[in-house]
Structure 1
Amino acid sequence: MSRYISSKWKKTLALLKDNQLRAIIPTTVRFNEQNLNTMLKKYAMLYVKPENGSFGKGVIRVEKHQKHFQYQSKEKIYKFNTYNLMYDALKKMIGKRSYLIQTGIELLKHQKHAFDLRVMVQLNPKHQWETTGIIGRVAAPKKIVTNYHSGGTPKPLEPLLSPYLSKDDLRKKTVELNRIGVRTGQAMQRNFAGVCELGVDIGLDGARRPWIFEVNTSPDRYIFKKHPNKAIFRKIMSYAKSYEARTKKKKK
């Protein structure tokens, strides 16, 4: 089995060591009053998320508007006249848990709902990193996260990107995403021994530029069961069985 790394902060630091990946990682800092204030002066929208956690639980969207500040937790939006009032309420909600702040990216939309991409990356039987599947995740109405376990809808890549890209550009973008997946796997392996599979969450902005939001070291394989190309799920499960068998063999 792959080694599970829970800290989003440690995983971000690992990716930042790679010169190419560093350029597509949104600015990420630890949550505190000074960092939040500084980030909001630079960016109108941020995501505040738990350092440890999965399925999009605990993620908060923070925004600065002309006459007010606001944050959204789950489906509820809270508005404040001043930054201090918002921060106090936000800090009370977070408590003593360790959180991160990440620059917000305005994602492309499918039928008015934001979507991102889950890129599955695995060590193949030749011990090389390979991108084995890409599937879109469309956010549920009024939700700020796209996770399947938070109501997100899995969708194939083509219907999501075809309104934005020509067939040739879609092919090129798929190749680019595959390369990002492989490079992410290599970067993670250099920092965390034993990692065998990753779920890389990537969003595309209005310029179609990819951004790595998060890397999961224990990704949900079964979301790919929703993919119309059934060979993708079969390959993912086959590779998983391969490295799980190698791990058991090493333990004997």
Structure 2
Amino acid sequence: MKARLIKYPGRKWLKHESLWSEPELRKYLPETELFTTQAFIQLVERHAVLFVKPDVGMQGQGIMKITRDGDKYVIRTASQRFVYRDVNKAALKLKQIIGSERYLVQQGIDLIKIDGNPIDFRALLHLKPNGKWKFFGIMGKIAAPNRFVTNHSSGGRAIRLYQALRVTKEDGAEWDERIKKLSGLIAHAMKRHFPKITELGLDIAIDTNHQIWLLEANTRPQFQLFRYHSDPRLFARIASSVRMIRKHSV
């Protein structure tokens, strides 16, 4: 796939297509398609949970969760719930909600949870002047009760990796190393496709079978979560790195 000279590629589909073209990364990517009623119907028959999300968006806004439960299809938005027994009617309702916007439909991952509240993670990397990626670390986000998105703007809160996995700090360090290695592979792939990028915030999921997934790669990521990292100095180092990167990108 041809490299794109876009500094901040915002479209989720563009980034998914780019990473899907990398054979070594495919097993980490949920099945994802551009939303059409046909694509939705095909995916919902293969996966009991789907997420429908804007192609361009942030902070979890506009995301819908669709659950297939027996002969029922349940659509949840941030504020509403719709139930259908006909998959075609569910698809048409989604199309009505979406309107003319471009959306994606994505395989839902059975995320690890605490007290029923799903958790995902943010890994943060910056490109150093020597051309190598620096991995700053990973922090978890736990959704508020009865929410299916983990973003702070939706009531989510920070949690450390080992706490989310309910393991010792030593075992948590091994998980951190696994995610660091995968993050490096993803960062190098993203750089091949988008040579101008200098920052990455990777939205990582760990499912109940402890498989790691990449939900999304963000190229101008927020990093407020890292205020809660176990290293109290890390946030200041990240903020300094961000200022330096963005100063030289102007």
Query: Deviations for 1:75-114, whole angstroms, at most 9, x for unmatched residues?
Result: 4321112112212211111101101111001100123211
Aligned residue in 1 for 2:202: 200
Gaps of 5+ in 2: 1-5
1:147 maps to 2:151: yes
How many matched pairs? 245
Query: Deviations for 1:8-53, whole angstroms, at most 9, x for unmatched residues?
Result: 0011111112222211000111100111111111111111111111
User: How far apart are residue 121 of structure 1 and its match?
Assistant: 1.1
Aligned residue in 2 for 1:27: 31
Gaps of 5+ in 1: none
User: How far apart are residue 59 of structure 1 and its match?
Assistant: 0.5
Query: Deviations for 1:228-247, whole angstroms, at most 9, x for unmatched residues?
Result: 42222122123223323433
Superposition map of 1:1-252 within 5 A: 3-161=7-165, 163=166, 165=167, 168-248=170-250
Residue aligned with 1:26, SS? coil
Equivalent residues of 1:50, 1:59 under 8 A apart: yes
C-alpha spacing 1:212/1:29, structure 2 compared with 1 (3 Å): same
Residue aligned with 1:46, SS? strand
C-alpha spacing 1:154/1:134, structure 2 compared with 1 (3 Å): same
Which letter maps to 2:60? Answer: G
* Aligned-partner Cα distance in 1 for 2:160–2:79: 26
User: How far apart are residue 70 of structure 1 and its match?
Assistant: 1.0
C-alpha spacing 1:90/1:144, structure 2 compared with 1 (3 Å): same
TM-score, normalised relative to structure 1: 0.91
Equivalent residues of 1:108, 1:205 under 8 A apart: yes
Pairwise CA RMSD of aligned residues? 1.7
Which letter maps to 2:57? Answer: G
* Aligned-partner Cα distance in 2 for 1:42–1:49: 18
User: How far apart are residue 167 of structure 1 and its match?
Assistant: 5.0
User: How far apart are residue 168 of structure 1 and its match?
Assistant: 4.8
